[in-house]
Each structure stands twice: as structure tokens, then as C-alpha cells.
Amino acid sequence: MKFQYKFLPFLLISFSINAFCQTQQDTIFAPKAIVPVIIDGSDQDAVWSKTDWKSMDQVWIPYAAKMAKGDFEGKYKVAWDSLYLYVLVQVVDDLISDDHPDPLQNWWDDDCVEVFLDENRSKGDHLKNNNAFAYHISTKYDAIDMDASGKGVNYKNNIMVRMENIGVNTYLWEMAIKIYDASFLASNPEASRVRLTSKKLMGFTIAYCDNDLTTKRENFIGSMFMTATTANDNYITANYFGSCLLVDQPRITQVGLIKTNQDRLVHVFPNPAKNSIRIEKMTDTSENIVIEIRSLTGALVKTCMLANRNISVNISDLNPGVYLLNVSSGNRTQTERLIKQ
């Protein structure tokens, strides 16, 4: 079945990656919605005006491919209240299609927004259990994931969603997602329903399956960096999900920005971490890279030098909390937020 939409006479909404305040290479912050969000496919709710856009620009399939101009662009926002995690997604997609009338047949091969959620960021396998969810949210508002038998199941009652065409090839998806712990049973979902609170850390990643009127998914574009060997593993394991911290304050993102004056110098993982972090060079520079870990007040708590390709840094002696990791090489700098668990 092909979807055809009547386009409104608006200009194409364009956006630059440089304008985004945060990417999911770092923990993202979701501010609290004081007034519940109305799921109507618009961005007029108060919390959205106080929430920064994050980018969806990492092409997982084919890995690291370049999207043709106009084929796909995406960005998203996240907010919360005690009952729901709210997600707003804006995409530019030149063709919207759904080739499978049965929502449980090849659901990953149709245009859909895919939301990966790990309620307590426990990580681990979730292919045939509810340790985490990989909701494939279709243009018909189905929300498909696998059940314990490995078959597709429609969890559309877990999510309220509305998609609206807001411009030429431009669509706004708005959703309210109920959060469940690993004991979730479709026969009694409320027994495992989790009420959200400030400072809760969740596993979260978002992606888009792009199908340009063929019988299979042509591109898979996500919100965070993945390696070539793990790029299509999020539906199996939550080990690679990004992290989302629920906060009370709007635009707290300034604390967690990745700031660079040129290309990213290093990749830091895992983050959050308990005992150690690994720092890998992302450039071919032969210069030594200076690593500093500072408290949010600026106090230096640890320093080291990255001379080779990678280094492991012991952080087991640090108190749990939030730190700033400063990286410098010559006149190039990078700053990102580090969570010590």
C-alpha cells in the first residue's frame, strides 16, 4: 500500500546539524513537562519550546553512507512527566511508503520511526524478552516489536502517536510512550508500569527506517554513532543504547554539550561508567592529546596523556556524579559530560 499526502503550501523546513545543541554521542537531557503534552502532531506544547533539537544523522544501513539531499533529514526532542516519555520527531522524507498491509509482516521494511527504550539502562539482551523495547512505529501508528516467541507483536496500546504533514516532504511525529520495567506482560501491562521521576537515567536511542517505495528498507538512520559491526544490533541488545537523563530544568543541555572547535578528537565510552572509561583517537593526529577530568565547579580531579591510539582511564576512585571531560591537542579542543556511576 502506498501513501500519498497532500502537501501544504509551506516552504521546506531546513535545518543544519551545526544548529543542534546536542547529539546522542553524549547523554541527552529530557526536561519535565509541567503541563501534559497533547498528542496532536504539533510542536505547540509549552515544553517543546523549552527543549532543544537533537540530530538523527548517523546512517547505520548502508553503514556510513551519505543520504542524497532531500531523501532524508531528521531531528528529535524528548520530554517527560510522571506518566509518559514524550518524543517529537521531525523528518524530511521525499517518499513515505508502507508496502505491507499486515503490520506484523516485515515491519522493519516500511517507513517508520524506531524508538529503543531500556527503562533502567540495565543493557543486555532483549530480543525475546522485555528487558528493553524496540518499537517500530508505523505511518498507521502500529508499534511493533518481538514477543517471547520471537514473533512480531503490536504494542500500539503502549504508545499514543500522531503524524502530520507540516510542509513539502516534511512530517512531524509526536508521541507519548508508557514506560514499563522488564516484568512487562501484555495481558497485564499496568502491573509493570513505571512512574517517571527526575534524575532517572534510561537507555534511549531513536532511528528511522527509510523505504523509498521498494519492498525493503533502503536506509536506516539513527541518533548516535554505532560501529560497523554493531550498527544493526539495537533490536537484539540494549548494550549500545544511548542514555537519557530526566531533569526538571529546561535547557539543562548546556552542561552536557559536546563542544569542539574542529572535528571530534576522541570517542569516550562507556558513558555512564563505574570503574573505567576507554578513550580512542578519532583523528590521525600524531600529536599527544591531553585529557582532563574536572568537577562541574572546574576543579581538576584527574589528568592523563593519550599518546597512542587508545587508553583506559581508571575512574573507580571518583565519587559518583557528573564531571566534565576536557580534551585538547594543539589549538583543538573537545568537552563533554562524563557520568560516574
**Alpha carbon 175 to its chain's center:** 14
- Determine the average pLDDT of the residues in 2-20: 33
pLDDT grade for 297, boundaries at 50, 70 and 90:
low
Cell digits of residue 284? 590521525
pLDDT given for residue 330 in this prediction: 75
pLDDT given for residue 2 in this prediction: 36
For residues 109 and 13, which has the higher predicted lDDT (pLDDT)? 109
For residue 12, is pLDDT > 60? no
The CA distance from 225 to 268, in Å, is 11
Mean pLDDT of the chain: 84
The predicted model scores a pTM of 0.69
In Å, what is the CA distance from 305 to each residue of 79, 163, 263, 311, 312?
38, 49, 19, 9, 11
Q: Is 317 exposed, middle or buried (0-12, 13-18, 19+ CB in 10 A)?
A: exposed
Query: What is the dihedral sign for C-alpha 212, 215, 221, 225?
Result: negative
Start-end of CATH 2.60.40.3080 domains in the chain: 258-340
pLDDT given for residue 10 in this prediction: 31
Task: Collapse the DSSP code of 47 into the 3-class scheme (helix H, G, I; strand E, B; otherwise coil) and give the result.
Answer: helix
- Determine the average pLDDT of the residues in 317-328: 86
Q: What is the pLDDT of residues 131-186, one digit of tens each?
A: 999 999 998 999 999 988 889 999 999 999 999 999 999 999 999 999 999 999 99
For residue 255, is pLDDT > 80? no
- Determine the average pLDDT of the residues in 309-335: 85
Q: What is the pLDDT of residues 212-229, one digit of tens each?
A: 867 778 899 999 989 999
pLDDT given for residue 11 in this prediction: 32
- Determine the average pLDDT of the residues in 52-57: 91
Percent of the chain with pLDDT over 90: 50
The CA distance from 7 to 30, in Å, is 31
Q: What is the pLDDT of residues 100-115, one digit of tens each?
A: 788 888 888 888 999 9
- Determine the average pLDDT of the residues in 252-256: 38
- Determine the average pLDDT of the residues in 279-292: 80
For residue 263, is pLDDT > 90? no
Tell me if the domain spanning 17-247 has CATH number 2.60.40.1190: yes
pLDDT given for residue 132 in this prediction: 97
Start-end of CATH 2.60.40.1190 domains in the chain: 17-247
Q: What is the pLDDT of residues 64-91, one digit of tens each?
A: 999 888 889 999 999 999 999 999 999 9
pLDDT given for residue 86 in this prediction: 97
Task: Supply the CATH classification number for the domain 258-340.
Answer: 2.60.40.3080
